[in-house]
């Protein structure tokens, strides 16, 4: 028996739930989200957006939080935040999230969600907070002092998940420590007071991680990611200037040829083809031919999504309404859960 909190245990739970989702969609409430720090890119799209839309269309209750308070965990500014939030809603809708089925909302508009932070903080120890490996890594990467909010944001994420009684949370592997923290908080609350919260599981994505165009981790700061919102021309330009190597023969070899292989992986996922097969087809036509192939594959795939995006962009009023409606529904749910929490704690006067 692997230890409950281990990666193996999380993977096993995740696989079991993946298999059960189409059989018992009514059992599941999904919550996941994004920090509105910039535009969503192809990594987000293939890594999670596709799955969110699939779950939404299966009849699972789906909730997506735009985690605006999480933006200031490791930076000093909220510059561009409103613009990032609106563009995130536009990306979601363009990619197929349907606001009639999926509740889309922000932290800052849902006070009762945030109030859960107080009882939840009482359920965790400083040592637990300090040893979260993801928090440590994020603090180091930010080059910023460890703020109280960064230290405690896994608890805030537990609030995001539990306010709507989410029981499945699609996340990347790096977020698993937070899911474990959420499981502990729910369990401790239920034991100490009354059974209010469900058992939560992280759902690991089945798609392998899409590398950035240079083969490194896809990241805005490396300039190696293709945003959903880019035009076909911007996409072509970015692919054109991506780094390959001097070997003319195109082969798929992520270790030795990270640039060429990342291009093949990107083309493969967009064209629904095996990267090795694309490599064989291009053969000794060289990097120029490969880049033309990738550009066509990406732009072909995203053409309808970008067309929808352009239409949505022209209608800010509608985007604002979608968010206002999501926020209104989230407040109803959060108010009801907070009332239950206060009742369980005997804090009703």
Reference 89, options 335, 330, 325, 333; nearest CA is 325
CB-nearer residue toward ligand TRP: 134 or 251: 134
- Residues 150-189 touching ligand TRP, rule: CB under 6 A, are 157, 160-161, 169, 171, 175
CB-nearer residue toward ligand TRP: 35 or 183: 35
Dist. CA 338–CA 317, nearest whole Å: 31
CB of 67 to ligand TRP, least distance (A): 4
CB-nearer residue toward ligand TRP: 118 or 249: 118
User: How many amino acids of this chain bind ligand TRP (CB under 6 A)?
Assistant: 14
* Per-residue tokens: 272: 């629904």
Number of other CB atoms surrounding residue 343 within 10 Å? 13
Choose the stretch contacting ligand TRP; rule: CB under 6 A; options: 31-39, 207-215, 271-279, 335-343.
31-39
Helices (H) and strands (E) in the chain, counts: 15, 5
Distances, alpha carbon 320 to alpha carbons 68, 137, 305, 315, 327, in Å? 16, 35, 20, 9, 10
CB of 290 to ligand TRP, least distance (A): 31
Dist. CA 299–CA 306, nearest whole Å: 9
CB of 73 to ligand TRP, least distance (A): 9
CB of 160 to ligand TRP, least distance (A): 4
Residue number with the shortest CB distance to ligand TRP? 67
Among 17, 28, 29, 35, binds ligand TRP (CB under 6 A): 35
CB of 336 to ligand TRP, least distance (A): 19
CB of 342 to ligand TRP, least distance (A): 23
Dist. CA 177–CA 143, nearest whole Å: 21
259 binds ligand TRP (CB under 6 A): no
244 binds ligand TRP (CB under 6 A): no
CB of 311 to ligand TRP, least distance (A): 27
Number of other CB atoms surrounding residue 212 within 10 Å? 23
Dist. CA 57–CA 54, nearest whole Å: 5
Among 10, 17, 21, 31, binds ligand TRP (CB under 6 A): 31
Dist. CA 47–CA 55, nearest whole Å: 14
Most distant CA pair in the chain, distance:
77
Reference 258, options 244, 277, 279, 272; nearest CA is 244
CB-nearer residue toward ligand TRP: 38 or 254: 38
- Residues 47-106 touching ligand TRP, rule: CB under 6 A, are 65, 67, 70
Which residues of the shown chain bind ligand TRP in the complex (CB under 6 A)? 31-35, 65, 67, 70, 157, 160-161, 169, 171, 175
């Amino acid at each position: 028996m692997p230890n409950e909190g281990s990666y193996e245990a999380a993977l096993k739970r995740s696989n079991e739930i993946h298999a059960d989702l189409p059989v018992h969609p009514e059992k599941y409430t999904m919550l996941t989200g994004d920090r509105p720090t910039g535009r969503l890119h192809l990594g987000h799209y293939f890594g999670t957006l596709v799955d969110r839309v699939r779950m939404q269309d299966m009849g699972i209750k789906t909730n997506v939080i735009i985690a605006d308070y999480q933006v200031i965990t490791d930076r000093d500014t909220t510059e561009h935040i409103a613009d990032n939030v609106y563009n995130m809603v536009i990306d979601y809708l363009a990619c197929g999230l349907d606001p009639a089925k999926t509740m889309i909302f922000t932290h800052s508009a849902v006070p009762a969600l945030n109030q859960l932070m107080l009882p939840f903080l009482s359920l965790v120890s400083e040592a637990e907070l300090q040893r979260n490996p993801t928090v440590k890594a994020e603090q180091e990467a930010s080059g910023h002092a460890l703020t109280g909010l960064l230290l405690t944001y896994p608890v805030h994420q537990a609030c995001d998940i539990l306010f709507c009684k989410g029981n499945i949370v699609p996340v990347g592997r790096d977020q698993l420590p937070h899911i474990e923290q959420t499981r502990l908080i729910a369990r401790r609350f239920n034991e100490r007071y009354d059974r209010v919260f469900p058992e939560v599981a992280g759902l690991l994505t089945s798609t392998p991680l899409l590398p950035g165009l240079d083969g490194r981790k896809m990241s805005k700061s490396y300039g190696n990611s293709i945003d959903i919102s880019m035009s076909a021309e911007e996409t072509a330009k970015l692919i054109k200037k991506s780094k390959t190597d001097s070997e003319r023969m195109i082969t798929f070899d992520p270790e030795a040829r990270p640039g060429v292989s990342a291009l093949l992986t990107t083309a493969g996922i967009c064209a629904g083809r095996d990267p090795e097969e694309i490599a064989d087809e291009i053969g000794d036509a060289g990097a120029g031919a490969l880049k033309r192939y990738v550009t066509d594959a990406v732009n072909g795939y995203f053409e309808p999504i970008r067309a929808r995006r352009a239409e949505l962009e022209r209608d800010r009023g509608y985007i604002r309404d979608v968010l206002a409606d999501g926020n209104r529904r989230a407040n109803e749910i959060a108010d009801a859960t907070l009332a239950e929490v206060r009742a369980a704690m005997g804090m009703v006067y």
